[in-house]
Structure 1
Amino acid sequence: MLDIQWSAAELRELEELRQRESLLPADAPRALLSIRLSVLTEETTSPIRQELDLRRFALMRGCRVVGVARDLNVSATKVPPWKRPKLGDWINNRAPEFDQILFWKLDRFVRRISDLHLMIEWCKEYKKVLAADKDPIDLDSAYGEMMVTMIAGMARIEAANTGIRLESLWKYARTTDRWVIGKPVFGYTTEEGLNGRRLVVHPFRKRVLHWIYAMLKRGRSMYKITQIVNRAGVPAPNGGKWYAKNLTSILTNPALKGIRVIRPPKAKSAEISRILYGADGQPIRLAPPIFEDREFDEIQDLLKNNAKHGRKGSKGKQLSRFLGVVLCGSCLANMYKHVTIKNLKDGATRKYPKLRCSSYTTEPCGAPVFDPDEIYGALSAAALNELGEYEVVHREYARGAENLARVSELEASIKHYMDGLAPGGSFAVGGFIQKQAQEALQKLGAELQTIDPETTKDRWTYKSMGVTYRQHWSELGTAQMEKDLLRAGITFVVYEDHADLLIPDDVKQRLVVRDDYFKKRL
């Protein structure tokens, strides 16, 4: 990544633009500049040049710049505006501080039409304006809104066409027995051949995998196996240590049979790769197998029998609660609930739940195990004792336009009556007319005094919901308590003989429920 450095000439230009901006009236619209690049290289449009162009654009629109949101090395296709590190903070938390969002070109702002439409709806809801310097886009007009949708559609089509060309190349490459790109599954490596790069067996890694296979057949747990290979100094695929998760992902990959596989589109991490078949209906063979079909199938059965623990039960019921809240007193790692199931002689089973540090299966920190119900109960009691009487408060967005308009009307009326009551004025005639004008002036002044100047601005307001957290958690249960404690940054650190509930000083502010406009509409 390149360093962004302003030249002397650019700094002089920036200072000149700021001086011109300082001459704008106090009530000038407030502009937020949005600057984004997917990849920062010498060939890309300079972020500094974008900012200077946008500052000139703001001056042309009569806007004062109140902030610059620089999101560099951020993809507009993958990350919508409200989730970007800088721009997202302005949109979600600082909306009252600006009136317009200015950007260089539309593709610097969004790439997906759905993201664009949602931003347009947000701007309508919050009375904001979107405008681009290099595109005919300005949401102040219906024409500008139409143009922004059309241009976004064209950008999306261009991105889709690029994706189609790449996918076509990949589809062809997958039908051959050559290795095109990427990192092969553990057990294989690549080498250059006469007809390109080929997949070949890595002898040492193959021996490691067959040793693991033998250990599974002997009934060894994944935890024990990873401990042994780590002590033996066998490097994991990423160069780090072995864990049950990364070892399982390798052992469940059909690529160990020497055939080509592909990850399904939008596949989740737990999904197994899919086998690719050739025109003859057979799997595309890339290299000799590390495991034959019979051996691979047996490994899958052994893994299923071996898997007795995890964060979720067989029916998807979540076991571990308060992740990110309940921490180990020795190393401050998360505490997970683990259930051991033992078969009894009479055919029944017995469950032994325990709460242990996440380091237990990797490099144990020495912390003891605890009874989950006891810890969760102690946390709930402590949270209710410390926070139970706090009121549940929601943050809402309030517009100041109505009060601002009323203030302007009152000030104009007051000026009218003051001018009329001045010597020589239309109301300075004594008698009933002058008395009525004076009374009207007093009423107008009294009403003006009742309007808080802050209410003439866009702002966040905080509204109590009329319930305490004790009532809130009593109605919505443990899951809601977990969400609230996480939002507030509250932790419950568990030691061998006691536990501490750590509450930030600004806990009331952290507990405020902030409406997520975009999450509700996606």
Structure 2
Amino acid sequence: MRIAIYLRLSRESDDSASLETQRQAAQRWLLANGYDPADAVEYPDTGVSGAKPLEAREQMSALMAARPDLVIAWKLDRYARSVSEFLRLIAWGEHYGVKIATTDGTINTLTPTGRMVAVVLAALAEWEREMIKDRITEGHATRRQQGRWVSGRAPLGYRIVRRDDAAYLEVDPEQASAVRQATLALVNGGTVAGTARIAGVSEPQWRRLLKAPTLRGQRAHKGTLITAADDVTPVQFAEPILSAAELRAARDRMDALATGKTRAPRRATPMCSDMAACYRGCKLNGGTSDKGVPLYRCKAGHTTIYAETLDSRVQSEFLTVFGGMREVLIHLEGGNDLSADMEEVQEQADRLAERMATAGALMLPTLERKAKELEAAYARLRAAHDPETREVAVPTGRTMAQAWEAEDTAGRARLLAQLNLRVTLHPRGAEDRLSVEWGPEDAAQAELDAITRDEAEESPRRLIPLTPEQHEEIRQDLLDDIARQEERL
């Protein structure tokens, strides 16, 4: 007689239903019923839930393909914890003449009574599983409303601590510092991919973290913000790492990059493409020679230069002039921009309005008190809202030379742009074809040059050369105009 012993274990740590316990029980049952355990073939499924379909279990699938004469298992729940799956197993046994039994004697498909009992017990097993699932779900929801940590690893910037025999989150100073530094770099013109390396996570993880309420010390479950019993107030799991204004600024920067408003240059874009011009004022764009060598090319075709030549010159002067200086990022301080905090209060008010629309008479007074609290909080924020800020240089802890080595082409271009690099390419035959300047250029001279270039491009034949005296007179007029505009502002 072909005999199969089916063994199943959901968790390796489940000692009460270990594979050895099931095996010994099956062997004792076979001996007691006149069978030789040596004739039995074992089919052990380890780490497999009883709710899983029969064919989806590797060993159960192999057992059904073998079609033995008798299948024995420890208890009914080893076969299945779903009525539908157990009924399918019974139907399979009847179709192929396979006897199905358990070592505790509760199942014996040889008789109609035995089949009925098996179906009833399978229904009870499924009911028990659903009850356990509901208890676990309700327990998790309760712990979330209490601000406790339910399960899994702590999110970036936090760590798990135990208080009063329960798990909570608290700020991890080292990780939180990396998160703040990465956020500051992103807001100051960095890319999501580049700042993800500063935070120490992958780019997708960094995006998800910035889009979630986690860094405000709050959590979302299945895409919905976790709130207290009033369905309005967010549950505070831990102290926030970023202020509402900082997080909103990071999200605005991500949106700007995604929509192309301030998109970072492509990797193939030359490093100095937005900061270099030819001797006649035309912007230099990227290009390649006939042999595929990268170039800077004047868009009007006045002149070209190898990209490596120009970039090497800029790099050399950058490291010579600024390499030993400390890198700083510009951080806005001094103001009290509470617009993001006001938005959070407005979001709570929106949730409160939805709750009040369906609340009964008993709940309305409580919700009305909450509405007054939100109105008072909004009024306090609005009174304290003063977005005027000043720029403060925040050291990053590395030199400009170290920053240069750590950045890619886009990052280096950002460093050069912050220093207001201007490169001028002179015609061939000049003693030095490249002029490299740093810092802000004279506003009046820049505007005069722009007007002159525009007129030259629109009607070069009608352009009348100016004498030095006329040039200085126009320059002085422009300076006076700029001074008047500044006074009005």
TM-score (norm 1): 0.42
TM-score (norm 2): 0.45
Higher helix share: 2
- Greater Rg over alpha carbons, structure: 2
